[in-house]
Amino acid sequence: QAAADPMSSSDAPEDGPKETSSVSQNISDADAFKILLEMKMKKRQKKPTLPSTVTELGTEDGSKVYVVGTAHFSDSSKKDVVKTIQEVQPDVVVVELCQYRVSMLKMDEKTLLKEAKEINLEKLQQAIKQNGVMSGLMQMLLLKVSAHITEQLGMAPGGEFREAFKEASKVPFCKFHLGDRPIPVTFKRAIAALSFWQKVKLAWGLCFLSDPISKDDVEKCKQKDLLEQMMAEMIGEFPDLHRTIVSERDIYLTYMLKQAAKQIELPRASETEPRRYIPAVVVGVVGMGHVPGIEKNWNSDLNIQEIMSVPPPSASSKIFKFVIKATVFGLMGYGCYRIGQRTVQFILSMPAAQSYLQKLTEIRSQH
């Protein structure tokens, strides 16, 4: 990038490349850092023109955090993310992903679209192995919902995160952080919070979700008033689920954004040179539903230890797990019985078997 800005080759003197080569060999790492940092600062807009979906937050030491509220299946959200990163030239980009979902950053849109639509037995086994029976089944039901939206819109989820990843790589010295709580912890805490009948009701609702979804419906999720109304309906029906899936993750995301917003230490030419720090600029990319919670928690002292623990399974959870296992084994047993019954009937219908049985009957009648 340092070589892209100077005069064009037609205006440069003939010995220009040799001088540039000589300078580049003699320049120190600290000087190179300073040059690139200065270029970054010049490109950074002091009064950035930001989309309406961006919320600006600050820290006591002067760091700035720009939270982009997105809808996960929205083209305009992708544009909002790109524009924000280009305008503010951040030091850190934080996205609402954890290490268990980081693969979506590396896949292309076509592969993701195919993956999202295909829910098979292998994926179910992997989810159960990773998260346990209950959490694994719940994860697959939520994947079914995602697949339903993917099929309706023809768009793979996580486009705004992939755009954030691409844009962050273009900004000098920009770090990329995963800011969401690990998904197994979220699922296990969510399952533990629900009663037996709530689990049945939720699973039933997810299994039979078939309402059509349009791109206009997705864009409505970026409007705070409509989103708050949807959240209120969810809280009314599943308050504990809202607490574990939304409110606790609001706290976790806020904590990670504040960690990313710590001041940046500038490089030193020598050990004797005093340490110098500058405020950080951070861009956070999260679902619009998390923005109010992040704003609410921003000035609070946060401790994430409590929301990272996984409670032991409740009695209702054990019962539900037993019912699921009993149903699966019952179906398998019935299947084996039916296969065995048909096999016996087939063997007995064969002429050789009938002849053998007739001889056996004659022998027994003689005795």
Per-residue pLDDT of the chain (367 residues; tens, 9 = 90+): 333 333 333 344 444 444 444 445 567 777 787 788 888 888 888 889 999 999 999 999 999 999 999 987 788 999 999 999 999 999 999 999 999 888 888 776 666 666 655 665 666 666 666 666 656 666 666 666 555 555 565 666 788 999 999 999 999 889 999 999 998 888 888 878 877 777 777 666 656 555 565 666 656 555 554 445 555 555 566 788 788 888 999 999 999 999 999 998 877 767 888 888 999 999 999 999 899 999 999 999 998 999 998 877 655 555 656 666 666 566 666 666 666 666 656 665 667 666 766 776 777 666 6
The rounded distance, in Å, linking the Cα atoms of 132 and 36 is 48
Tokens of 90: 């951040």
The rounded distance, in Å, linking the Cα atoms of 167 and 169 is 5
Question: Contact 133/321 with Cβ under 8 angstroms?
Answer: yes
Which amino acid is located at 171 in the chain? V
Q: How far is CA 364 from each of CA 232, 301, 358, rounded to the nearest angstrom?
A: 78, 89, 10
The rounded distance, in Å, linking the Cα atoms of 308 and 185 is 7
- Closest among 70, 105, 66, 72 to 89, alpha carbons compared: 66
E strands present in the chain: 54-58, 64-70, 92-95, 175-178, 264-265, 277-278, 281-287
Q: Using a cut of 0.75, tell me whether the model's pTM lies above it.
A: no
Tokens of 121: 């037995």
